[in-house]
C-alpha cells in the first residue's frame, strides 16, 4: 500500500510539472510576441510582468472571486480583479496602442485609468474597514492614521508648490501624486485590517494587498520625485513595478494552490472503509430485519433480526435465496417477489411464513427493491423486513372481540328487547285492566318506565353501532317536519305538565332520517331531568358562514340546568348524570355522534347567562341541503 501511494504522489507531481510546463510555454510565446513590438523602450522583465498580469493575476483573482463563499473574501478579490483589469487596459493604452497605431494621446488616458485601478482597491478596503473599524484599539488606530496622514500632507504640499511654480510636468505630478496618496490610503486600511484579522483566514489576502502596494508606492514615489525635479529616478521605478507584478502573481498562485489537495488511493480507500463500516453498523444494529442480496437473491450481508425471522443459521444461510422460498411463501407472494428482478419495488404486507420447524406461524412485512451500478444495471437487492406476528395476533384477537361484541349487541337488540316488549305489554294491560289507586299504580308504573328505558337504551346502542360501522348517504331532509314530529312525541306525556313552544321556518338539511333522534333525545333530556311543570322552546333560523348556509336550532328549557363543571363533558361517552333518573340513556352521546356525522356542531350553555339554575340551551348547527347545489 505504501509503494502504491508513493507512486500516486509521484504521478501527481509529474502531472503538476507537465501543466506548469504547458503554462510556461504559452506565457513565453505571448511574452516573445509582445516584446517584438515594444523592445525599443521596454525590457524583457517588464514584458514578463505584464504577461503575468494578464495571464496570472487577472484570471486567478476572478476565479478566487467566484469560488469564495465568504462575503469579505469575495469583496477583496472583486477589488483585486477590478484593479488588474484596469491595469491591463492602462498598459495597453499606455504602451501598445500608441506604438502600434501612432496615437500618443492615449498615453494620458492610460495614466488616468491607472489611477482608477488603484481606486478600486481603495474602495474595496474601505467597505470592509467601515464594518470592522471599532475592533482595533483606539491608540493603534490613531497612530497608523497619523503617520500616513502626515506623509500624505507633505506629498500634497510639495505637489502644490511645484505646480504653482509653473512646472511643465504638472499632469504627471498630479497622476503619480494621486497614485501615491491612494497607495497610502490602501496601506493604511490594509494595516488596520491585518491587525484586526491577524489570527484569521483573511490575513493572507490582506498580506497580498500590502505587498502589492508597498512595491507600488515605491515605484510611484520614485516617479513623483523625478517629475518634481528633485532626483533623476526614472530608471528605477519600473523595476519595482515589475517586481510588484511578479510577487503578486506568485502570491496568488500559492493562495490558489493552498486549497487544492490531491486525493490519493489511500485516502479514497479510507473513505470507502469508513462508509462501509457505517453501513455495516446501521444494518447490524437495526431492530428490523435487513438483508443485502446478490443478483441471484443470495445473502451477502444480513443482521440477526432477519436471520431470526427466516430461521437462518450458519448451516442453511448459504442456500437461502429470496427468489427460492417456495416452501415458505404462498403463490401470490412468490409471483410478487419475482417482479423485483424487472426493477420493480415490491412491498409484501402481512406475509405468512409457513415454518415447518415451529408450531406457530410468523407474519412479516417486507419491502424488496433493487440497487443499480454505475452502468445502470441491477447490482444487488435490499430486503427490509419487520416481524408483525404480535401485531397480527393482536388484530386477530381484536377481530374476535369485535365479533363477540356484535353477537352481544344482536342478542341484546333482538332477544332482550323482545322480552322487554313482552313485559311492557303486560304492564300496560295491567294498568288498563285493574282499577288501582295512585299508590298502587306506582308499583306498575316504575317497572314499566324501567323497561321502556331499557328498550330505549338498546335502541341507542344499535344506532351508535350503525353510525360507527355503516357508510351513510346524505339527502335533503325537511327540518321543520322533523322538529314537529319530535315535539309531538313529547307534548302529551301522562302525569307531566309540559309546554313546548315552536318558532321555526321551512328548510332542508343535508342528513338522513336519523337526524330526528338528535331532537327527540334533546327533548327527552329536558323532560327527564326536570320536576313539575316545564317550558321548552324550539327555534330554528338560517345562518351564513362564509359561502355556506346552515340552520341553527335551539332547544332550551327552564329546568334545573347543567353545572358548569359538567358542560365540557356532557356529550362524552363515559358521562353519567347524577340526577334522579340516572345516566342510563347514552342520549347526549348519540346526539353528538349524529351531529358530527352530519358535519354539524353542537354546544350547550345556560338559558340565562351566568345563572345555570334557570335552565339549559342546546345549540345545534346543521348544514343546509342547498350547499350541495351551491358548491
Q: What is the DSSP letter of 232?
A: -
Same domain, 176 and 102: yes
Looking at residue 481, its pLDDT comes to: 94
Question: Residue 174 domain-assigned?
Answer: yes
Question: Residue 608 domain-assigned?
Answer: yes
Contact criterion met (CB below 8 Å) for 411 and 386: no
Contacts of residue 258, Cβ cutoff 8 Å, sequence gap at least 6: 204
Residues of the chain with pLDDT under 70: 1-24, 26-27, 29-31, 33-41, 133-137, 139-141, 144, 166, 197-201, 234, 258-268, 325-333, 354-360, 409, 411-415, 453, 460, 465-472, 573-586, 628-631
Question: Residue 5 domain-assigned?
Answer: no
Residue with cell 327555534: 539
Same domain, 373 and 396: no
Domain total of the chain: 4
For β-strands 299-302 and 346-353, DSSP reports them as: unpaired
Q: Which of 416, 441, 470 is the last residue of a domain?
A: 470
Region of residue 495 (phi > 0: left; psi between -120 and 50: alpha; otherwise: beta): left
Q: Enumerate long-range contacts of 162-167, CB under 8 Å, 24 or more apart.
A: 162/228, 162/229, 167/227, 167/228, 167/229
Contacts of residue 413, Cβ cutoff 8 Å, sequence gap at least 6: 458, 461, 462
β-strand partners of 126: none
CATH of residue 298's domain is: 3.30.450.20
Same domain, 500 and 599: yes
| C-alpha cell read off for 374 | 454505475
Looking at residue 582, its pLDDT comes to: 42
Looking at residue 231, its pLDDT comes to: 77
Q: Please state, as a whole number, how many other Cβ atoms lie within 10 Å of the Cβ of residue 75.
A: 18
Question: Residue 423 domain-assigned?
Answer: yes
Same domain, 141 and 213: yes
Question: Residue 466 domain-assigned?
Answer: yes
Same domain, 419 and 449: yes
Same domain, 464 and 353: no
Measure the CA–CA gap between 463 and 368, rounded to whole angstroms: 45
Among 195, 185, 207, which residue's Cα sits nearest to residue 139? 195
Looking at residue 341, its pLDDT comes to: 86
Same domain, 525 and 622: yes
Beta strands in 303-418 (DSSP E): 346-353, 362-372, 378-387
Domain of 290, in residue numbers: 271-387
Looking at residue 328, its pLDDT comes to: 59
Question: Residue 516 domain-assigned?
Answer: yes
Question: Residue 263 domain-assigned?
Answer: no
Same domain, 119 and 214: yes
CATH of residue 579's domain is: 3.30.565.10
Q: Which ranges in 576-619 belong to alpha helices (H)?
A: 587-597
User: Could you give phi then psi for residue 605, rounded to 5 degrees?
Assistant: -150, 170
Measured in whole angstroms, the distance separating CA 49 from the mean position of its chain's CA atoms is: 52
SS3 (DSSP) at 286 = coil
Measured in whole angstroms, the distance separating CA 497 from the mean position of its chain's CA atoms is: 65
Q: Which of 470, 502, 528 is the last residue of a domain?
A: 470
Same domain, 497 and 556: yes
Looking at residue 1, its pLDDT comes to: 46
Looking at residue 199, its pLDDT comes to: 47
Same domain, 66 and 201: yes
Measure the CA–CA gap between 12 and 23, rounded to whole angstroms: 17
Same domain, 489 and 580: yes
Q: How far is CA 236 from CA 171, 220, 224, in A?
A: 20, 10, 12
Among 376, 309, 370, which residue's Cα sits nearest to residue 345? 370
Question: Residue 544 domain-assigned?
Answer: yes
The two most distant CA atoms of the chain are separated, in Å, by 149
Q: Please state, as a whole number, how many other Cβ atoms lie within 10 Å of the Cβ of residue 61.
A: 24
Task: Please say whether the dihedral angle defined by the alpha carbons of residues 215, 216, 219 and 225, taken in this order, is positive or negative.
Answer: negative
Same domain, 480 and 376: no
| C-alpha cell read off for 484 | 314537529
Amino acid at each position: 500500500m505504501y509503494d502504491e501511494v508513493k507512486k500516486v504522489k509521484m504521478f501527481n507531481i509529474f502531472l503538476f510539472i507537465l501543466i506548469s510546463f504547458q503554462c510556461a510555454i504559452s506565457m513565453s510565446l505571448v511574452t516573445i510576441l509582445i516584446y517584438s513590438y515594444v523592445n525599443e523602450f521596454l525590457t524583457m522583465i517588464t514584458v514578463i510582468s505584464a504577461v503575468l498580469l494578464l495571464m496570472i493575476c487577472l484570471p486567478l483573482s476572478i476565479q478566487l472571486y467566484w469560488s469564495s463563499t465568504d462575503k469579505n473574501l469575495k469583496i477583496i478579490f472583486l477589488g483585486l480583479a477590478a484593479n488588474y483589469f484596469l491595469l491591463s487596459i492602462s498598459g495597453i493604452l499606455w504602451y501598445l496602442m500608441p506604438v502600434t497605431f501612432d496615437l500618443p494621446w492615449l498615453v494620458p488616458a492610460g495614466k488616468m485609468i491607472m489611477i482608477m485601478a488603484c481606486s478600486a482597491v481603495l474602495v474595496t478596503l474601505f467597505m470592509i474597514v467601515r464594518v470592522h473599524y471599532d475592533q482595533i484599539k483606539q491608540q493603534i488606530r490613531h497612530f497608523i492614521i497619523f503617520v500616513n496622514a502626515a506623509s500624505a500632507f507633505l506629498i500634497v504640499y510639495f505637489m502644490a508648490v511645484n505646480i504653482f511654480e509653473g512646472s511643465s510636468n504638472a499632469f504627471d505630478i498630479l497622476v503619480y501624486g494621486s497614485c501615491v496618496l491612494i497607495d497610502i490610503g490602501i496601506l493604511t486600511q490594509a494595516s488596520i485590517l491585518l491587525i484586526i484579522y491577524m489570527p484569521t483566514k483573511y490575513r493572507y489576502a490582506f498580506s497580498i494587498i500590502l505587498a502589492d502596494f508597498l512595491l507600488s508606492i515605491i515605484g510611484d514615489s520614485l516617479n513623483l520625485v523625478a517629475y518634481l525635479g528633485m532626483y533623476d529616478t526614472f530608471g528605477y521605478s519600473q523595476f519595482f513595478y515589475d517586481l510588484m507584478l511578479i510577487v503578486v502573481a506568485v502570491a496568488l498562485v500559492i493562495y490558489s494552490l493552498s486549497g487544492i489537495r490531491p486525493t490519493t488511493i489511500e485516502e479514497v480507500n479510507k473513505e470507502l472503509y469508513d462508509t462501509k463500516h457505517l453501513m455495516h453498523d446501521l444494518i447490524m444494529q437495526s431492530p428490523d430485519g435487513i438483508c443485502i442480496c446478490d443478483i441471484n437473491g443470495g445473502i451477502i450481508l444480513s443482521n440477526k433480526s432477519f436471520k431470526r425471522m427466516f430461521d437462518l443459521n450458519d448451516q442453511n444461510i448459504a442456500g437461502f435465496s429470496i427468489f427460492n422460498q417456495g416452501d415458505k411463501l404462498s403463490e401470490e407472494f412468490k409471483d410478487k417477489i419475482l417482479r423485483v428482478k424487472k426493477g420493480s419495488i415490491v412491498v409484501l404486507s402481512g406475509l405468512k411464513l409457513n415454518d415447518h420447524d415451529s408450531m406457530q406461524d410468523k407474519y412479516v412485512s417486507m419491502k424488496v427493491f433493487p440497487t443499480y451500478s454505475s452502468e445502470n444495471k441491477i447490482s444487488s437487492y435490499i430486503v427490509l423486513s419487520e416481524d408483525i406476528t404480535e401485531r397480527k395476533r393482536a388484530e386477530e384477537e381484536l377481530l374476535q372481540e369485535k365479533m363477540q361484541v356484535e353477537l352481544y349487541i344482536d342478542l341484546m337488540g333482538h332477544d332482550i328487547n323482545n322480552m322487554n316488549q313482552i313485559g311492557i305489554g303486560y304492564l300496560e294491560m295491567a294498568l288498563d285492566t285493574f282499577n288501582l289507586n295512585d299508590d298502587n299504580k306506582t308499583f306498575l308504573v316504575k317497572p314499566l318506565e324501567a323497561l321502556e328505558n331499557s328498550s330505549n337504551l338498546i335502541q341507542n346502542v344499535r344506532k351508535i353501532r350503525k353510525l360507527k360501522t355503516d357508510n351513510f348517504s346524505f339527502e335533503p331532509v325537511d327540518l321543520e317536519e322533523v322538529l314537529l314530529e319530535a315535539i309531538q312525541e313529547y307534548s302529551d306525556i301522562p302525569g307531566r305538565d309540559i309546554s313546548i313552544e315552536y318558532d321555526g321556518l321551512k328548510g332542508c338539511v343535508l342528513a338522513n332520517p336519523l337526524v330526528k333522534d338528535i331532537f327527540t333525545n334533546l327533548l327527552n333530556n329536558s323532560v327527564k331531568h326536570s320536576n313539575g311543570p316545564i317550558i321548552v322552546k324550539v327555534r330554528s333560523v338560517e345562518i351564513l358562514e362564509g359561502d355556506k348556509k346552515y340552520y341553527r336550532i335551539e332547544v332550551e328549557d327552564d329546568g334545573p340546568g347543567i353545572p358548569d363543571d359538567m358542560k365540557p363533558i356532557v356529550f362524552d361517552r363515559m358521562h353519567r348524570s347524577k340526577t334522579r333518573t340516572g345516566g342510563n340513556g347514552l342520549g347526549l352521546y348519540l346526539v353528538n355522534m349524529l351531529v358530527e356525522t352530519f358535519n354539524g356542531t353542537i354546544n350547550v350553555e345556560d338559558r340565562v347567562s351566568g345563572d345555570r339554575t334557570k335552565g339549559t340551551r342546546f345549540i345545534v348547527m346543521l348544514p343546509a341541503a342547498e350547499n350541495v347545489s351551491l358548491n
